Amino acid sequence: MKSPRRQIRLKGGFTTNILYECEEFLLAEKPEGLPVHETKDPNRNDFTRLLAAYLNLPELRTANRLDLGTSGIVLLGKTADKNKEIDSLLKDADKEYIFLCSGIPDWKEKNYECFLRDGNKEVQIVRSGGKKAITEFRILSVYPKENLSFGMAKIVTGRRHQIRVMLRELGHPILGDTVYSNVPTKEVRMFLHSFRLCFTDLQGEKQWVETEIPSAFSTRVGTKISVTNEQK
């Protein structure tokens, strides 16, 4: 049986929402600017260890990775004996992100396919030798005065930096992205957020989990941003 949503405050002043929890795993909302995993610096806070300590779940394991600047839904397994099932659940799930990007595209919807190859810091689009990546993009609203667009990206594959490198290639990098944008930025964050996860749980039931839109998105464009039923 799943538990109700709840908000908790982690060590270091970080706040997270437990969006979904059952016996085998949970879904929690990672704050932006916090590493999802342990880094080379063992004294640096990371989301998985902070959450594991708070919940007293020493075997807690993150199934999906979010970049440092990306916020939103993270799937975490509670015990090692369910790792295979949880990885399979994530692989088959529908994963949707929201973003603010620079400029206003001349398209409302775009299905983008390419091949990506990992580098040390950046991921590159290549003609051969990479892994196929597919993302379905939708622009939900535009803000001409700010020269910004709000959109949603559904990832069909799960490659590192997939959404970020594709939007740069399309000429509309994510706002606040210091790696995949040539424009200097003083933004408070990178405006990419893991917004929705639709999956089949380990009992075969369909589940649908969605976060709130981070307040920084609305603050940046000066008006309330929302995703309407028609846009879902």
Tell me, yes or no, whether 20 and 79 share the same domain: yes
Residue 21 lies in a domain: yes
Tell me, yes or no, whether 189 and 99 share the same domain: yes
Residue 216 lies in a domain: no
Tens of pLDDT, residues 111-147: 999 999 988 788 998 988 889 999 999 999 999 999 9
- The enclosing domain of 116 has a CATH number of 3.30.2350.10
Tens of pLDDT, residues 146-180: 999 999 999 999 898 999 999 999 999 999 999 99
Tell me, yes or no, whether 13 and 78 share the same domain: yes
Residue 13 lies in a domain: yes
Q: Which domain holds residue 78?
A: 1-92
Tell me, yes or no, whether 73 and 113 share the same domain: no
Tell me, yes or no, whether 78 and 114 share the same domain: no
Tell me, yes or no, whether 53 and 71 share the same domain: yes
Residue 183 lies in a domain: yes
Tell me, yes or no, whether 104 and 184 share the same domain: yes
Residue 203 lies in a domain: no
Tell me, yes or no, whether 26 and 82 share the same domain: yes
Tokens read off for 173: 């990098």
Residue 208 lies in a domain: no
Q: How confident is the model at residue 193 (pLDDT cuts 50, 70, 90)?
A: very high
Tokens read off for 69: 């600047």
Q: How confident is the model at residue 220 (pLDDT cuts 50, 70, 90)?
A: very high
Return the percentage of the chain with pLDDT > 90, whole number.
Answer: 79
Q: How many domains is the chain built from?
A: 2
Tell me, yes or no, whether 82 and 140 share the same domain: no
Tell me, yes or no, whether 64 and 129 share the same domain: no
- Does the pTM surpass 0.75? The reply is yes
